[in-house]
Structure 1
Amino acid sequence: MAIRLSMHNWMRPEPVEDTVSRLARHGYDAIEISSDPRNMDVADIRRLLGEHGVACAGSLALFMGGRDLVHEDVYIREASLGYLMDTIQLTEALGGTFVTVPCTVGKVVPMADPEAEWAWYVTALQRAQRHAANCGIRLAIEPLTRYETYLINRADQALRLAEEVGEDCGICLDIFHMNIEEADWKAALRASAPRLVNFHVAENNRLAPGSGAIDWSVLIEELLAVGYDGHLSVEFMPAVDRTPISDRHILEADDATLGRGMAKWLRDHASGILPADLYDAYTAQSAQTLRHHLTKAYARR
């Protein structure tokens, strides 16, 4: 099976019908949908996906605000696990195959000793893994940069966690984060191949593919070489630019009608509310750039 093209929908809070329509217009195969199980109409989303010919690749568990699987308060840990369990069921209902699981974004200070936090994390994910297996879903642990979490930053850490969780628990890699944290991203990718479930893509500056320094031909060749046939899931996130030279006009997260958790999530990504025209342009550019390099890579094989 060939590598397919997907995109998140957390980068710009908007009605899901707007996002799905945009993805279809720009030729995406699928969406990696941001999980909000208690506020999503599954039947309506399934209808939208069917009408536009866009699949649900999987979902992204939004560990933000009060969601934290390694919090010192056991009640917060249990509620966070409940959210992950609901996300697994949502993903199954939408026809997805994986749930991406990052650490809590923006939490950069631990609350307990390393052994306790590791035990909490492994135990929670083992419980989630059993539920996921029953639903035909794979968990995909995602490393993030040190600026977003202190806990899982590199592929080797994610692999160790997945191995301790056991069964077919997988990982999700992100070339933006790898470009910062990995000494050798190619070696990290090769070591991760047996458990690689999903792959996020953005430039080294976290802009849309084609706006930075990443050699997409080399990356795609490496993915093909290790036998990866999942999704390239686009996740650009332009930073707020408050200087006189800015041409992005990104609104501050606090200026929009958002929940406190989502506003903090956007701020923790150094961003805000992307205007629709910029979001559309980045969505189109990402698809064009990645399709171009995928086509060339398959033609060489």
Structure 2
Amino acid sequence: MLTEFKLSLHTWTIHTTPLETCLEAAAYGGFDAIEIRRSDIVQCYEKGMSKDDVIGMIRDSGVTVSVLGTEYGWWFTPPDETRRLFEVLRETCEIACAVGCDMIMSAPGQVTGTIEDAVEATKVAGDIVGEHDLSLALEFNSQHPLVNKTTVLREIVERADRTNCGMLLDAYHLHRSQGMETGLKDVTADELFAFQYSDVPPVPEPGVRRPVDRLVPGEGVIDWTFLLWRLSEIGYDSYLSYEAPNPALWERCPKEVCAEGVRVTRELVEKASMEMQKN
């Protein structure tokens, strides 16, 4: 039987929208939760809001925070910058605790290094997040020169040996790296902490570390029946986070984008469920 997935809005999908409006749009669209980026928090600070102001705004919205992102890059940065990024991580954990979020996420960012660098940094990050009784979901990027597939990400997580650290997988990056079937092969529920999704165009732009050509599910080339079936088979029962950054979506009403995202995702889940019943 197909999992009844919970849906979360990733704020990059409505990138040009202030956090307060993102919260409103997520609720209007019918998402079960929201995934907030570190950049959303920073933009609030740039407007003169304090950390307590941001926490209060999120709490007052009544929207559940599924995942809170921290600033990327700490896997591979020089010592001084790594220390700064770990201070950001500590603040991110404090905000997460204050708004009732139990999951922090991070990705490789725009820099690179060695697997050994990433392993040692993950040990430290895992301990920081663990001090707050939170989990840390780590993502690979199909366009990163090193951390670009499930096997590499798994090696970093396993060698760091922190039980509160796991993998964040993304449908877009899975498809563009080793392919969906290979990327999800042998993945277990214990190691899969979070999942993001969007569709992929037939000819995605190559070599862009932060691609914004992602599509509404069903408008690209991903086999959604297989993906949803595989996630159910794995036993993944946490949020699916709708991350579809695309300038075409940013120009639209954020509430309409959110409502469309929920609708088409639910339709794909229903379709996949019917296909599974036939087989």
What is the correspondence of 1:114-125 to structure 2 with a 5 Å cutoff?
117-125=114-122
In the alignment, the residues of structure 2 paired with residue 190 and residue 228 of structure 1 have an alpha-carbon distance, to the nearest angstrom, of 14
In the alignment, the residues of structure 2 paired with residue 211 and residue 282 of structure 1 have an alpha-carbon distance, to the nearest angstrom, of 14
Which residue of the other structure, out of 78, 84, 89, is the alignment partner of 1:79? 84
Corresponding position of 2:208: none
What amino acid sits opposite 2:235 in the alignment?
Answer: G
Corresponding position of 1:173: 169
In the alignment, the residues of structure 2 paired with residue 43 and residue 295 of structure 1 have an alpha-carbon distance, to the nearest angstrom, of 41
**Gapped regions of structure 1 (runs ≥ 5):** 240-247, 251-273
TM-score (norm 2): 0.80
Aligned-residue offset at 1:54: 2.1
Aligned-residue offset at 1:124: 1.8
Aligned-residue offset at 1:7: 1.4
Aligned-residue offset at 1:155: 0.6
In the alignment, the residues of structure 2 paired with residue 2 and residue 132 of structure 1 have an alpha-carbon distance, to the nearest angstrom, of 29
1:102 aligns with 2:86: no
C-alpha contact 1:210 1:286 (8 A) present in aligned 2 = no
What count of residue pairs does the alignment treat as equivalent?
Answer: 253
Aligned-residue offset at 1:27: 0.3
Corresponding position of 2:241: 233
Aligned-residue offset at 1:161: 0.5
In the alignment, the residues of structure 2 paired with residue 118 and residue 45 of structure 1 have an alpha-carbon distance, to the nearest angstrom, of 35
Which residue of the other structure, out of 202, 221, 227, is the alignment partner of 1:213? 221
Bigger RCO of structures 1 and 2 (CA < 8 A, at least 6 apart): 2
Corresponding position of 1:57: 66
1:150 aligns with 2:145: yes
> Percent identity, aligned pairs only?
23
C-alpha contact 1:2 1:230 (8 A) present in aligned 2 = no
1:195 aligns with 2:226: no
Corresponding position of 2:31: 28
Deviation by residue 1:267-301 (Cα, 9 ceiling, x = unmatched): xxxxxxx2242x44433222111112334556767
Deviation by residue 1:172-197 (Cα, 9 ceiling, x = unmatched): 000101111014x2243242223001
C-alpha contact 1:209 1:285 (8 A) present in aligned 2 = no
Aligned-residue offset at 1:160: 0.5
1:164 aligns with 2:159: yes
Aligned-residue offset at 1:139: 1.0
What amino acid sits opposite 1:18 in the alignment?
Answer: T
Residues 13 and 130 (structure 1), Cα distance of their counterparts in 2 relative to 1, 3 Å cut: same
Aligned-residue offset at 1:78: 1.7
What amino acid sits opposite 1:179 in the alignment?
Answer: H
Corresponding position of 2:18: 15
Corresponding position of 1:256: none
Aligned-residue offset at 1:199: 0.5
In the alignment, the residues of structure 1 paired with residue 76 and residue 149 of structure 2 have an alpha-carbon distance, to the nearest angstrom, of 18
In the alignment, the residues of structure 1 paired with residue 85 and residue 153 of structure 2 have an alpha-carbon distance, to the nearest angstrom, of 19
1:289 aligns with 2:249: no
TM-score (norm 1): 0.75
SS at match of 1:132: helix
SS at match of 2:186: helix
Aligned-residue offset at 1:144: 0.5
In the alignment, the residues of structure 1 paired with residue 231 and residue 197 of structure 2 have an alpha-carbon distance, to the nearest angstrom, of 12
Corresponding position of 1:275: 251
C-alpha contact 1:190 1:226 (8 A) present in aligned 2 = no
C-alpha contact 1:6 1:234 (8 A) present in aligned 2 = yes
C-alpha contact 1:69 1:124 (8 A) present in aligned 2 = yes
Q: CA RMSD in A?
A: 2.5
Aligned-residue offset at 1:170: 0.2
In the alignment, the residues of structure 2 paired with residue 188 and residue 211 of structure 1 have an alpha-carbon distance, to the nearest angstrom, of 21
